[in-house]
Amino acid sequence: MVMTSTIKKTSRKHARIVIMDSDEEMLKRLTKSFGEEGYKVETAEQTSKMLEKIKNEKVDILILAVDSFDATGYELIPIIKKMNGLLPIIAISADDSIEMATKVREQGVFFYAIKPLDMKEMKLVLKNAFERRVTRQYEPVITQKKKVVRKDFEDEILDLTEASKILDLSKQTLRRLAKRGELPASRIGNRWYFIRNQLFEWLRITAAGNQRNYGTLILETMDEGVAVVDKRLKIISCNSAYLQALDVPRDKIIGEYCYRVSHRSMVPCEESTCPVRQAFKTRRPVKFMHVNYDSDGKEHYCDVIALPIKDKQGDVSQVLEVIRDSTEIYDLNKHLNWITNFFIHESRKTLGPIVMNISALVDNKLSKTINVEKRNEMLLSSLCSLKLLYDMIRNYVISYRAENRTIQCLKKAVDIQHAVFLPVIDELRPLFYRKNMTVETQIRGERAVYCDGDLMKIAFSNIFNNATKYGADGTKIQCLLAVNDEAFELSILNEGIGIPRNKLDDIFAQFARFDKQGMSGTGLGLHVAKMIVEIHNGTIRAESGFLIEGQPVTYDEFYGNENLCKTKEKNLRRFARFILTMPSGERGEKLEV
Amino acid sequence: MNHQKNILLVDDDEDFLTATKLVLEKSGFKVETCMSAKECLAKLKLTMPDVIILDVMMESDHSGFDLCRELKRDPHTKAIPILMLTAVDQKYPLNFASAAGDESWLPVEAFIDKPVEAHVLVERVKKLLRIE
């Protein structure tokens, strides 16, 4: 190590740097600044001149403005490398886009700096570049003194996981930095690879006072969109999440007024509603909720937090603006709110007739005027409404559980006819009675079905409920239950308003309800029935059409038949039919009841 | 009661209509019912009730609102007091109770939450009709 540092000290005075930039001011500044550091600085205004110098003369470091004459300066890099593979190239550019950084990095430069240059950082980079150059030139001498293992260790190629452990940075951040060319890395296929000593070198440079990059690094580790805003309300730095949240490229942001970027507004926000201005004013952290719009005009609900950055005197020189996009949470909340209000409305509505009936029956004055027949009618009506309310709560809970995948389906051999089908019809008898409806049942085959009996009861009950609700008074509900070794099928048909032809596919959707008057319920029943059937690997479908001479004719059959479709629809009664099909048992097992 | 007062009850819930009709009839009123805004407007061309009891949400979320505004604009029906019923949560999103009486927004004479007990509704109707 002593030997290396001696080489450095003695050699730096003779180190030749060639700078190529079309910006004369920049050339003068760099020449002066690096000259003071003891380097011999030469400038090249033309590409040919620069290449000539590299070819014929001894050049130790090249500083190349990749955007000098046109935007394709980085294309020179491979040519230079062919001429002198050991020459460290420091690329500089005023273009701070990720695209440019990636293109330059792909060519494999020693360092890439964005203008305005941080001179402290540049001097450090030069020092490192020169050390590497010297080390490489003297490599045979040094490696002779070191063990081979050591060299292998330093040149060790690391993958993302190993590099992430060494640098104590998340893989995500590391990948992001590598992608943006802010860290020396190579990409092979989809994977990133790093060289150990290059990583340490980068870390040294980053940590040794390059505050701008270090700051950016910290900003990059944050998931939220973060920007640093100065007193003029101009953005001076930001992270990728900020660009992503606002859907704008980096070059459109840096140096731009924050309100133009975040609100797409030409004027600053009112001071009272602007967290950044408030943070400057109060010198305290401020949080507000803002609605921002992306380039498609979609609303984004964002928590905007402004944190004051104070200088040594305690004055707020900049404000760190953190934008947390809460749209997803906001939307979810809105949805939950909607469901809750829907539920409250439906239950209060269903409670309406119950409270009216019961309160009338217990009212001293009123109850005396109500005869026994009327009283029974009122009680029956209340009972039906209560059943409706109970179903609503049950469906709501099942639907919630199914969505959260916490529904339990305990399958066993169930006597579908006696344990599910007939009890459900029995439970719903008050509803049938009230609408003066009859239920005609037809049962074919007897066999146990492998299913969750309780869930199946809910599915059956919901389909029957639907038939009762939408069936006309005094009509007949026709059901067919057929079971064999492969499958069982339940078909329930009702006469009534039917299902509009264009709504047949949507009828099982959550909160779907195409009712006319006098119907209540949450529009969850059929949705829940479908979920239950699907849990059992079954299917459910809806059919609707007209009743012709008492026989159901679907819309498709009706309109497909020349003679039939001449009939006036108005004169025809409609039907709705639900057909549920499910496998009878698992893997064809015969199950005992 | 000198002569029987007429009530027009508008609600899309059949069970509620049946129950409320019975209660009001047993309390001495003559009750007609209808289930939609359209039906209500048609009925008002034939009869002139002393009070209208109207649900906020029928075919759509706002049909009750729209109907009562229309009734208050029409010189023929303008003077009929309206008692509005709703099952919408009182706290959210709008506070109907405080808005009742606001001519431009909710031009109704009284407002009641659903569910409502029989005697509360009857008393409210009597108050509107200034009946002891």
pLDDT in tens, A254-286: 788 888 887 777 888 888 888 999 999 999 999
The SS3 call for residue A462 is helix
The predicted pLDDT at position A34 comes to 87
End-to-end Cα distance, chain A: 86
- pLDDT of A413 > 80? The answer is yes
- Residue A360 with chain B: CB contacts under 8 Å: 19, 22-23, 26, 118
A184 is written with which tokens? 């020396």
The predicted pLDDT at position A205 comes to 60
Helices (H), chain B: 14-26, 37-44, 63-73, 96-99, 118-128
Between A492 and B91, the more confident residue is: A492
Strands A449-451 and A412-414: antiparallel
Contact yes or no for B19 and A356 at CB 8 A: yes
Between A201 and A465, the more confident residue is: A465
Give the residues of chain B that fall short of pLDDT 50: 1, 91-95, 97
Region of A309 on the Ramachandran plot (φ > 0 left; ψ -120 to 50 alpha; else beta): beta
| Cβ atoms of residues A177 and A192 within 8 Å | no
Residue type, A410: L
- CA A329, A332, A336, A342 dihedral sign is positive
- pLDDT of A59 > 70? The answer is yes
Partnered with residue A158 across adjacent β-strands are: A194
Per-residue confidence band for A586, with pLDDT thresholds at 50, 70 and 90: low
| Mean pLDDT within A95-99 | 78
Shortest CA distance from B17: residue in chain A: A353
Establish if A141 touches chain B: CB-CB under 8 angstroms.
Answer: no
CA distance A320 to A96: 20
Nearest to A407 by CA among A270, A536, A290, A302: A536
Between A164 and A213, the more confident residue is: A164
- pLDDT of A4 > 50? The answer is no
Establish if A352 touches chain B: CB-CB under 8 angstroms.
Answer: yes
Give the least confident one: A30-44, A156-170, A460-474, B57-71: B57-71
CB atoms within 10 A of CB B63: 20
Contact yes or no for A352 and B114 at CB 8 A: yes
CA distance A126 to A145: 26
CA distance A311 to A318: 9
Assembly ipTM: 0.87
Q: Identify the residue among A349, A364, A431 best suited for mutation to test binding to B, counting B beta carbons within 10 A and taking the highest.
A: A349
Q: Buried b vs exposed e over A449-476: b needs ≥16 C-beta within 10 Å? A: bbbbbebbbbbbbbbbbbbbbbbeeebe
| Cβ atoms of residues A66 and A104 within 8 Å | yes
| Cβ atoms of residues A380 and A433 within 8 Å | yes
- pLDDT of A135 > 60? The answer is no
The predicted pLDDT at position B2 comes to 55
Contact yes or no for A356 and B92 at CB 8 A: no
- Residue A349 with chain B: CB contacts under 8 Å: 13, 16, 87, 114
Which of A:414-453 have CB within 8 Å of B?
Answer: none
Shortest CA distance from A378: residue in chain B: B19
Where does A453-486 show beta strands of DSSP type E?
476-483
Q: Which of A374, A378, A517 lies at the smallest CB-CB distance from B12?
A: A517
- pLDDT of A153 > 60? The answer is no
| Cβ atoms of residues A216 and A238 within 8 Å | no
Shortest CA distance from A337: residue in chain B: B92
- Distance of residue B13 Cα from the nearest chain A Cα, in angstroms: 4
Establish if A517 touches chain B: CB-CB under 8 angstroms.
Answer: yes
Q: Which of A351, A356, A517 lies at the smallest CB-CB distance from B35?
A: A517
- Residue B16 with chain A: CB contacts under 8 Å: 349, 352-353, 356
Helices (H), A1-159: 2-12, 24-36, 47-56, 76-83, 98-106, 119-137, 139-145, 148-154
CB pairs under 8 A between A and B: 89
Contact yes or no for B22 and A370 at CB 8 A: yes
Contact yes or no for B87 and A518 at CB 8 A: no
The predicted pLDDT at position A27 comes to 85
Contact yes or no for A348 and B27 at CB 8 A: no
| Mean pLDDT within A420-430 | 93
Contact yes or no for A356 and B13 at CB 8 A: no
- Distance of residue B59 Cα from the nearest chain A Cα, in angstroms: 7
- pLDDT of A158 > 90? The answer is no
- Distance of residue B77 Cα from the nearest chain A Cα, in angstroms: 24
- Distance of residue A374 Cα from the nearest chain B Cα, in angstroms: 9
- Distance of residue B89 Cα from the nearest chain A Cα, in angstroms: 7
Q: Identify the residue among A341, A356, A380 best suited for mutation to test binding to B, counting B beta carbons within 10 A and taking the highest.
A: A356
- Residue B121 with chain A: CB contacts under 8 Å: 356
- Distance of residue B83 Cα from the nearest chain A Cα, in angstroms: 16
- Residue A384 with chain B: CB contacts under 8 Å: 15
| Cβ atoms of residues B57 and B25 within 8 Å | no
| Mean pLDDT within A169-178 | 83
Which DSSP string corresponds to B96-111? HHHHTT-TTT---SEE
CA distance B18 to B14: 6
Instruction: Give the contacts of A186 (CB within 8 A, at least 6 positions apart).
Output: A192, A193, A194
Task: Show the domains of chain B with their CATH numbers.
Answer: 6-128 (3.40.50.2300)
Q: Evaluate the omega torsion of the peptide bond into residue A353 and state whether it is cis, within 30 degrees of 0.
A: no
- Residue A341 with chain B: CB contacts under 8 Å: 88-89, 92-93
Residues in B whose CB is inside 8 Å of some CB of A read 12-16, 18-20, 22-23, 26-27, 35-36, 57-59, 87-89, 92-93, 113-119, 121
Helices (H) and strands (E) in chain A, counts: 23, 21
Contact yes or no for B13 and A337 at CB 8 A: no
CA distance A515 to A510: 14
- pLDDT of A492 > 90? The answer is yes
CA distance A71 to A66: 7
pLDDT digit string, tens, across residues B59-94: 565 677 788 888 888 888 989 999 988 876 554 444
- Residue A367 with chain B: CB contacts under 8 Å: none
> What are the C-alpha distances in Å from A336 to residues A238, A398, A402, A460, A504?
34, 16, 16, 28, 27
| Mean pLDDT within A537-556 | 92
- Distance of residue B19 Cα from the nearest chain A Cα, in angstroms: 6
- Distance of residue B29 Cα from the nearest chain A Cα, in angstroms: 13
Q: pLDDT over 90 for what percent of chain A? A: 26
Q: Compute the mean pLDDT over every residue in chain A, rounded to the nearest whole number.
A: 81
Contact yes or no for B88 and A341 at CB 8 A: yes
Residue type, B80: I
> What are the C-alpha distances in Å from A407 to residues A340, A401, A402, A585?
21, 5, 5, 21
- pLDDT of A131 > 80? The answer is no
